[in-house]
Amino acid sequence: MAKVSVSASLENEELTMEERNLLSVAYKNVIGARRASWRIISTIEQKEERRGNENHVSVIHDYRAEIETELSSICDKILKVLYSRVIPVAKAGDSKIQNLEMKGDYPTGVSTSFDLLDA
């Protein structure tokens, strides 16, 4: 995924609409899978806490933390690509708008997932 944006951006070329869409969809799919995993494991963790199964809760908590780390890492990677290679070379209005929307989506994706547990 990052290779698509990096290869075009290394030459200071703006991503085409197709490349921007591919980049966006690829990362959203990866993040979506992690968010779904996070929601499921959080639900299981809450059920086990209610049942008082502290051994299960401990293992589940560790796994949830691993998913959170992966999700944060993925979002950090896409943001790094956007900030360093994609946004600086965007010239067209549509391109800038889509890139800035993606920039706003990734931190929101992480915080939304993590805040669900507190709700």
- Reported as a single tens digit per residue, the pLDDT across 54-85 is 999 999 999 999 999 998 888 888 888 878 87
63 vs 104: which has the higher pLDDT: 63
4-16 average pLDDT score: 61
CA 24-26-27 angle, 5° bins: 70
pLDDT (tens digit per residue) in 16-40: 888 888 888 888 898 899 999 999 9
What are the residue ranges spanned by the domains of the chain? 20-87
**Averaged pLDDT of the chain:** 78
**pLDDT band at 103, cuts 50/70/90?**
low
d(CA 116, CA 69): 16
pTM score, two decimals?
0.70
d(CA 17, CA 6): 15
Q: Is 77 left (phi over 0), alpha (psi -120 to 50) or beta?
A: alpha
Task: Point out the least confidently predicted range of 22-31, 37-46, 88-97.
Answer: 88-97
